[in-house]
């Protein structure tokens, strides 16, 4: 087995372990059900949440299937047509996966009890604006962008390219909808947070008073972050 395939298996194992572990912790220790995926009352947002969940599971199976040595490709144009190929692309892809996993673990730790899989309108949790959330309003979405694009660059096939495109479009739409929800729940507090912190990445706080505003927000406001 090549290094890139072994790396992908280890990365996938870490990702799943963190998600499952965090879910069990919230259910058993805190009495919180972080899985809020449902169609009722959510309309298109609910459909996209479930489709993203399904896509992530199919992608995880594809990573396992592609990395293990005893696979056989049933659809040649998906598995055997390469959109990118070469050591440079694979190196960049591995780096993106590694950075994405660091972002993911830090974001999960920062969210704590506020992490949800889907929008939780009943118990949205605390508004997190400290730590990595000072650099990005959506570090978990940033992680998925890095992870899926990195997986595509490592493997290079049409299958992973299609996964990356579909997930990127889905995530962007859900980000916009989530921000509308957070504005509705937290009002001016979240609006101030938006003005200080970029949607994907903020290299520096734009104004000194933004730092002070975020410190005040982190003391008493709440936030729910979707998976």
Domain boundaries, the chain: 3-226
Phi and psi torsions of 185, nearest 5°:
-80, -45
Protein fold of 3-226: 1.20.120
pLDDT confidence of residue 224: 41
The pLDDT value recorded for residue 225 is 44
The string over 130-167, giving b where at least 16 C-beta atoms fall within 10 Å of a residue's C-beta and e elsewhere, is: eebbbbbbbbbbbbbbbbbbbbbbbbbbbbbbebbeeb
Residue ranges in the chain modelled with pLDDT below 70: 37-42, 45, 69-77, 117-125, 204-227
For 82, which DSSP code?
A: B
What pTM does this model have? 0.83
């Amino acid at each position: 087995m090549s290094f890139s395939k072994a790396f992908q298996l280890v990365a996938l194992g870490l990702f799943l372990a963190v998600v499952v572990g965090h879910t069990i912790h919230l259910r058993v220790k805190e009495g919180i059900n972080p899985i809020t995926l449902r169609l009722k009352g959510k309309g298109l947002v609910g459909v996209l949440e479930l489709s993203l969940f399904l896509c992530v599971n199919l992608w995880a199976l594809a990573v396992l299937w592609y990395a293990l040595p005893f696979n056989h490709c049933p659809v040649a144009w998906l598995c055997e047509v390469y959109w990118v190929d070469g050591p440079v692309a694979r190196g960049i892809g591995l780096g993106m996966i590694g950075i994405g996993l660091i972002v993911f673990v830090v974001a999960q730790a920062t969210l704590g009890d506020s992490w949800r899989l889907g929008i939780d309108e009943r118990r949205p949790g605390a508004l997190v604006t400290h730590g990595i959330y000072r650099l990005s309003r959506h570090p978990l979405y940033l992680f998925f962008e890095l992870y899926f694009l990195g997986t595509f660059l490592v493997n290079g096939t049409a299958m992973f390219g299609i996964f990356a495109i579909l997930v990127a479009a889905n995530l962007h739409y859900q980000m916009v909808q989530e921000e509308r929800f957070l504005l509705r729940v937290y009002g001016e507090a979240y609006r101030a947070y938006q003005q200080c912190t970029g949607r994907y990445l903020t290299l520096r706080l734009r104004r000194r008073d933004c730092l002070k505003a975020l410190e005040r927000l982190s003391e008493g406001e709440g936030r729910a972050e979707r998976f």
